[in-house]
Chains A and B, each alone.
Chain A
Amino acid sequence: MTAKDTVAVRVARGAVVFRLQRRSALLTSMLWLCALTLAVAALGLGEFDLRLADTLRVLGGGGTLIEYDVVVRDRLPRVVTGLGVGAAFAVSGAILQRIAANPLVSPDVIGVNAGASFGALLVMTVAGGAGASLVLGALAGALLTSAAIVLIALNRGLNGYRLVLVGIGIAAMLSSAISYLLVRADYHQVLSAASWLTGSLANRGTLHVTIVLVALAVAVPVLLVLGRHLRILELGDDLARTLSGGTTRVRLALITTAVVLAAMATAAAGPIGFIALVAPQITRRLLAGRPVTLGPAAAAGALLVTGADLVARLLFAPTELPVGAVTGVLGAPVLLYLLARANRIGHTG
């Protein structure tokens, strides 16, 4: 970060100085603008079409009862959940990619999503639960899995490489357990499980919105304080310890933030694939020096999920696809491109 690419935001006569990188700030605002525009469009589009002016009028408190029902009760929770989980997945991926110094790391890879899926499926097939209990099952599954991964990886300081290996192992075990649950479930359960496992934003309500907004409300202040340590952690263990004293606590706090974000996002919308992996990688290609940054990644994640959900709803209307199907179709080629360009572990072109 050199002075000439940055804008200093000074508060309290210079006692508080935040530096924003111009290009990164610009990119973030543009991506959020696109995401919000798509979000407003998504509120009006669908089987019950509204013009933009009408949508805005309904949001402002006007409109008929049925318009209110469609826009505020039905579509708004879906759209807000989409924006939130997009940002949460992307930030989670960006943190993990920086700590592991590896662009191919994401919460899906280290087993957080598998934990959520296992929890949700357990509730669905064994307890026969749905709705709120499903969400809580997913949340419990993801958080327990994350705790297990971190505790196992914590042996002798926490290193990104070990975190990934432990996570891959746990993800593999959980996916066997998921297969087992699916085999012993009945036909109808398997159908709803399949939709949940793809990641879907259909029928979102206050519960889902609350979960994802709480996750972001907790994560943002933590990252505001600890985010700068990422610049040091990615210089390797030795230098990080020299430059910041002990690093284990900071690393643990950042990894916990990342997995909790992914856990809560998965509980709210299912394991929507590729966002965590791809959003940070798209934005870093748009920035000088190709840094993995949290702000732009969050905006890109929100835009990707909102866009993908719009496509999922409208492409084969009136039949809706789960949003995860669309992010998978869009994300897989990006992943392949990244893999093809990776010349050694930890470095991509």
Chain B
Amino acid sequence: MNPDATATAMPPATELSADRLTLGYDAEPVVRDVSVTVPPGRITAIVGANGSGKSTLLRGLAQLMRPRRGAVLLDGQDIARLATKTLARRLGLLPQQPLAPDGITVADLVGRGRHPHQRWFRHHTGADDAAITAAMESTGITHLAERPVDELSGGQRQRAWLALALAQDPDVMLLDEPTTHLDLAHQIDLLELLTDLNAALGRTTLLVLHDLNLAGRYAHHLVAVKDGRIVAEGPPAEVLQPDTIESVFSLNCAVIDDPLTGTPIVLPRPPSGDRRGG
């Protein structure tokens, strides 16, 4: 799981960036004047406390919110000027709590990712079938194709939504807290899958993660957000420093190297002494 171990012989990956981006619903902006470049072809994790604006930043980059000021750029081009159809083929999304239509099967759900590649007079073609099959295969849900999504376990369901985004075949994949409702084993499972997909396809991937240790292990690049601004950015080993974590999360902690992977591990310090008694 060496963060630097990515293949080199791949088509150039897409660069997503924000240029002095300000986002917000009401008078008070949630994301203020943020400029950031998501490294092409890598996995980037946005970390930050609850309410820090990390999901809002992801939503802004996904064009789900109109910028109050500034712009989102895709390979240097202002995303607001791209044709909506083009954009729909280039950005993929796994929402925080996606809702599947009642009774829909896995194959049907995954097939809906092909929407931007279809026209009203040209439904489902061979290319669509191939993309759907490949997406289900790479997420390991081929055997579930005819099962209703509401009958799947949490981990399987998350894979089905991921397969939808893969079938869309976007240049950039955005995932909003993809591990939130999963147990630890399924969190690892999903992040391993994302790592494999990233290594195989070299697709620019950006996700919001809560767990700093998982972010440190699976992301190549971390972006730490506090009060709508970026306070630190870089490889996990640089960002996950005790003083940075203290300022971002107001958490007093120590950082050690993971004996298994060498990636940083954050250990919160107990307030004073061990209060569990003896």
Given contacts A243-B113, A246-B84, 13 further A-B contacts (CB under 8 A): A1-B111, A2-B105, A2-B107, A2-B132, A15-B122, A17-B121, A17-B123, A234-B101, A236-B98, A238-B59, A243-B115, A244-B88, A348-B102
The contact string, 1 if C-beta is below 8 Å from chain B, for chain A 252-292, is: 00000000000000000000000000000000100011110
Q: Does B124 contact A (CB under 8 A)?
A: yes
Q: Are B88 and A242 in contact (CB under 8 A)?
A: yes
Interface residues in B, total, Cβ within 8 A: 43
Chain B residues contacting A246 (CB-CB under 8 Å) are 84
Q: Does B129 contact A (CB under 8 A)?
A: yes
B residues 65-119 in Cβ contact with A at 8 Å: 83-85, 87-88, 91-93, 95, 98-105, 107-108, 111-113, 115-116, 118
Q: Are B124 and A346 in contact (CB under 8 A)?
A: no
Within 8 Å by CB of A245, from B87, B100, B108, lies B87
Chain A residues contacting B105 (CB-CB under 8 Å) are 2, 288-289
- Distance between B265 CB and nearest chain A CB, rounded to angstroms: 33
Q: Are B102 and A232 in contact (CB under 8 A)?
A: no
Q: Are A235 and B101 in contact (CB under 8 A)?
A: yes
Q: Are B120 and A226 in contact (CB under 8 A)?
A: yes
Q: Are A6 and B124 in contact (CB under 8 A)?
A: yes
CB closest residue in chain B, given A229: B115
The contact string, 1 if C-beta is below 8 Å from chain B, for chain A 217-259, is: 0000000111010011011101101111110000000000000
Chosen A-B contacts, 17 in total, with CB atoms closer than 8 Å, are A2-B108, A14-B125, A15-B121, A18-B121, A19-B123, A228-B115, A231-B112, A236-B99, A238-B59, A238-B95, A242-B62, A242-B93, A244-B84, A244-B88, A245-B87, A246-B84, A289-B104
Q: Does B191 contact A (CB under 8 A)?
A: no
Chain B residues contacting A289 (CB-CB under 8 Å) are 103-105, 108, 148
Binding site for B on A (CB under 8 A): 1-3, 6, 8, 14-19, 98, 101, 103, 224-226, 228, 231-232, 234-236, 238-239, 241-246, 284, 288-291, 346-348
Q: Are B111 and A290 in contact (CB under 8 A)?
A: no
Q: Are A228 and B118 in contact (CB under 8 A)?
A: yes
Q: Are A290 and B115 in contact (CB under 8 A)?
A: no
CB closest residue in chain A, given B113: A243
Q: Are B101 and A17 in contact (CB under 8 A)?
A: no
Q: Are A8 and B93 in contact (CB under 8 A)?
A: no
The dominant DSSP class at the A interface is mixed
Closest 3 CB pairs of A and B: A245-B84, A290-B103, A242-B93
B residues 114-173 in Cβ contact with A at 8 Å: 115-116, 118, 120-125, 129, 132, 145-146, 148, 150, 164, 168
Q: Are A16 and B115 in contact (CB under 8 A)?
A: no
- Distance between A101 CB and nearest chain B CB, rounded to angstroms: 7
Residue of A15, A18, A225, A245 with most partner-chain B CB within 10 A: A245
Q: Are B102 and A235 in contact (CB under 8 A)?
A: no
Q: How far is the CA of A338 from the CA of B91 in the complex (A)?
A: 38
Q: Are A8 and B63 in contact (CB under 8 A)?
A: no
Chain B residues contacting A238 (CB-CB under 8 Å) are 59, 62, 64, 93, 95, 98
Q: Are A346 and B92 in contact (CB under 8 A)?
A: no
Binding site for A on B (CB under 8 A): 59, 62-64, 83-85, 87-88, 91-93, 95, 98-105, 107-108, 111-113, 115-116, 118, 120-125, 129, 132, 145-146, 148, 150, 164, 168
CB closest residue in chain A, given B92: A242
Q: Are B104 and A291 in contact (CB under 8 A)?
A: yes
Q: How far is the CA of A236 from the CA of B176 in the complex (A)?
A: 14
Q: How far is the CA of A7 from the CA of B65 in the complex (A)?
A: 39
Q: How far is the CA of A8 from the CA of B116 in the complex (A)?
A: 19
Q: Are A245 and B88 in contact (CB under 8 A)?
A: yes
Chain A residues contacting B59 (CB-CB under 8 Å) are 238
Within 8 Å by CB of A232, from B115, B132, B146, lies B115
Within 8 Å by CB of A224, from B63, B108, B120, B129, lies B120
Q: How far is the CA of A74 from the CA of B107 in the complex (A)?
A: 50
Chain B residues contacting A347 (CB-CB under 8 Å) are 102, 150
Chain B residues contacting A98 (CB-CB under 8 Å) are 101
Q: How far is the CA of A244 from the CA of B119 in the complex (A)?
A: 11
Q: How far is the CA of A289 from the CA of B100 in the complex (A)?
A: 12
Chain A residues contacting B88 (CB-CB under 8 Å) are 242-245
Chain B residues contacting A288 (CB-CB under 8 Å) are 105
CB closest residue in chain B, given A103: B102
Q: Are B101 and A291 in contact (CB under 8 A)?
A: yes
Q: Are B64 and A1 in contact (CB under 8 A)?
A: no
- Distance between A74 CB and nearest chain B CB, rounded to angstroms: 41
- Distance between A136 CB and nearest chain B CB, rounded to angstroms: 34
CB closest residue in chain A, given B87: A245
